[in-house]
Structure 1
């Protein structure tokens, strides 16, 4: 077996994982009947991503739960920062410098964004080239630094509470639903992280009979330092209800 240095293109992931070691994650999940969302999606002249519906719904739920839309910093004297807006961090599967990497894009102020407006932002990042996009200039510069300096620069950027919402988002969403993944749990460095699995027809019990419904497993990881399980359960339930009773 031979060993080689970690690819520069993945250093930002290592720096990020080192920074979130203080988190105390707890994991919840539920099944969401996506029939209403799929019906709305099929009736539109424009194709909306499933993640767009989740972003729209979750942003409005988190706006009603400011404690879950907050960030914490510090061990001895911890401080909580609550954001005036709801900003989503979305994980992206991209190629950078010939390497397959995970990049994160922050979509600001989703609490009052329209479905079309959110889809516009999703497409911007989905279709853009991270080698050229100005939004990823900082990540590219980080990769060019020596590892020690890169880690220091990353810490200086993400640790201060002031401006953290704009840099890291107030909640995170990641999806593996385009593959044969039913469910997974991820920690995105925010108080609440949502994980989307695939939508698949599954049997469900309805009024004592078995029916088939398009279900999506939705997971929620929350930082127990910031909120408790009851609050997290409310957030997950309200997102589920918003998707199942879809009304844009």
Structure 2
């Protein structure tokens, strides 16, 4: 599995902006569904219609996988959020840093999101005063209500501080909402897509770590309808998807 794992430093000079409006017709169903919801309220649905599943990373941060598992992530570093196993080389990575504004607990917050195709990359960074976007390593300016092509594999749209990134190759849509404190993301994928990473798989109740091993789940004796995962196993699962170990 070839996943790019180096995110640009957010301090790069903003020069050579690209500003190309691009229209995509006949988008795939999951992209169309997420895009319609995004236009309506600036968000992507937590669970889309039957053909699609959504996973999210919000706040400090709370993660909901494609199969509905919810957990908190309080570990700094660069992590694989989504990696497709379909040969396209598409992946979504995230950078998490300690929340310096929180003096009580060691929460982490998303700082940057990276999208990788085999020949293209897109990054969205949160800064104190603005949002920095890079396409293939170069600063990119996306006008409000504008759309910019990502080669022939997708596009990015902007609506105020919210961005929709479409992977038209694999019918995947990601909504990235940026504010002063957080970068929240919601990813919508086809329900049969073979994915790995912190957002799990849409068609399986299990989670696979970075070595392909299933996260051990045992019966909860207090409730036969629930499973139980030890804290140590879960930490190992999260750490297996961290790049800078």
How high is the TM-score relative to the length of structure 1? 0.32
Structure having the larger proportion of residues in strand:
2
Larger RCO of the pair (alpha carbons < 8 Å, separation 6+):
1
Greater helix content: 1
